[in-house]
Structure 1
């Protein structure tokens, strides 16, 4: 099997990580593209001593570390409000902490593998994750609309949201109900399942809401690769079902990290 064939199954998840790390679809994909170009240019330098997914993320991390210092140049190529917002938060939280948090709680790497990726000891990774959780949770408070037709999952999401100190504006089980709730009580964040009770689409519900006002959205799906095909507009933040509570907490915090409404003065 060629190296490209080994890496292909892992690309959607790397794109998810890159977007969560940058808070921007175009910027995240740019980093992934740069990592792939580096692999093509020097395949002999690809880490062969580890699992292909680990090697792919390690290559990405090298690109991120080397170019993140040139943040101003990236902002010129991909200008976005999120860039200025992120810089305000970066004054309170180091990028390395965010990487450790995302790698362990969203991407599912062990502290040992995360340490390999960011070149830190497992002990230091655990410390970085703890620091990141404390910092992010202290910075972001908002009101959340949940679009989910499975009662037990909806209850779990409600509890997670409240544990983070957020308020739940409502739980919708259909597209129409979601839009109505959003118009009645505007949320600061939306958590949206893909397939809803009446066979309507959470994606369509979100499109309707975003046509009225801007709000960060996190999609929840059992098949994230179906939304990361590169063939249509895609979400920046994705949670994979079945999910872990810490994954939801991290993704919520990361989505709000780039949201202007929650940036402290």
Structure 2
């Protein structure tokens, strides 16, 4: 298969990424065109040891770092684009690669020519940047005390406030009635045998709030039926994963309550 045939399926996604970086499709396409021109001039830029999509995005980052192809930025009014503007370029790149583009931290490290620790630091920077704009209160629905404390520390490290920690369905509803959160982190199986899923459904019947399920029983949610949760983390979880998903949930939500 020729190089052109290998990269062709990935060009639409590269255009999406470049558009997110620059803020406009014409500017993004100018970078993509520069990538293709660079490949024509020197096919050795394409690293065959990497997966094709990773190799292609890596070239775009090299082009981005080496030349300002198009500095014209159209007026942007969409909320997520305004939030992107506040991030330093590398943090923005790491955030987009691991959330919108779906790359693993390891793949993002290869694209950005850094290590895994470097990418995690950038994602943390992005999370704090997002929190500066949408700092919110977080309700934690979790019956295991140590996990609840870990989540509380994690939430606060990103600049958010913990509105409460609920161990049962009843406590969760009472907490929401006391103070409306801007984000909910919810386990499914709770201390008294009640259901975190039922608590979340009751909460969502009265308000619109992003929810991240953190559970050892993902099969109870991933049934193939709709709706399925937009954000789901399986226990045992990695701290970096939870941080990234919190940032993603708030970044793409229309707003957050204080």
Name which of 139, 147, 152 aligns with 1:145.
139
- Structure-2 separation of matches of 1:167 and 1:222: 25
Partner of 1:70: none
Name which of 233, 252, 256 aligns with 2:250.
256
Partner of 1:120: 112
Partner of 2:40: none
Rate the CA distance shift 1:107–1:208 in 2: closer, same or farther, 3 A.
farther
Deviations 1:80-102 (A, max 9, x none): xxx93323223334663313454
Partner of 2:163: 169
- Structure-2 separation of matches of 1:87 and 1:261: 14
Preserved CA contact (<8 Å) 2:189 2:195: yes
Please identify which structure carries the higher helix content. Answer: 1
Residue 245 of structure 1: CA displacement? 2.0
Scaled by the length of structure 1, the TM-score of the pair is: 0.58
Rate the CA distance shift 1:154–1:121 in 2: closer, same or farther, 3 A.
same
Aligned residue for 2:148, secondary structure, equals helix
- Structure-1 separation of matches of 2:108 and 2:141: 32
Please say if 1:99 is aligned against 2:91: no
Preserved CA contact (<8 Å) 2:140 2:148: yes
Q: Segments of 4+ in structure 1 off by > 6 A?
A: none
Scaled by the length of structure 2, the TM-score of the pair is: 0.60
Residue 204 of structure 1: CA displacement? 0.9
Aligned residue for 1:218, secondary structure, equals strand
**Structure 1 stretches of 5 or more lacking a match?**
1-21, 23-47, 62-82
Partner of 1:246: 240
Residue 234 of structure 1: CA displacement? 1.0
Rate the CA distance shift 1:163–1:120 in 2: closer, same or farther, 3 A.
closer
Aligned residue for 2:255, secondary structure, equals helix
Preserved CA contact (<8 Å) 1:146 1:171: yes
Q: How many residues align?
A: 188
Residue 259 of structure 1: CA displacement? 2.6
Preserved CA contact (<8 Å) 1:101 1:128: no
User: Which of the pair has the greater relative contact order for Cα pairs under 8 Å at 6+ separation?
Assistant: 1
Residue 131 of structure 1: CA displacement? 4.7
**Structure 2 stretches of 5 or more lacking a match?**
1-19, 21-47, 58-76
Partner of 1:203: 197
Residue 138 of structure 1: CA displacement? 2.9
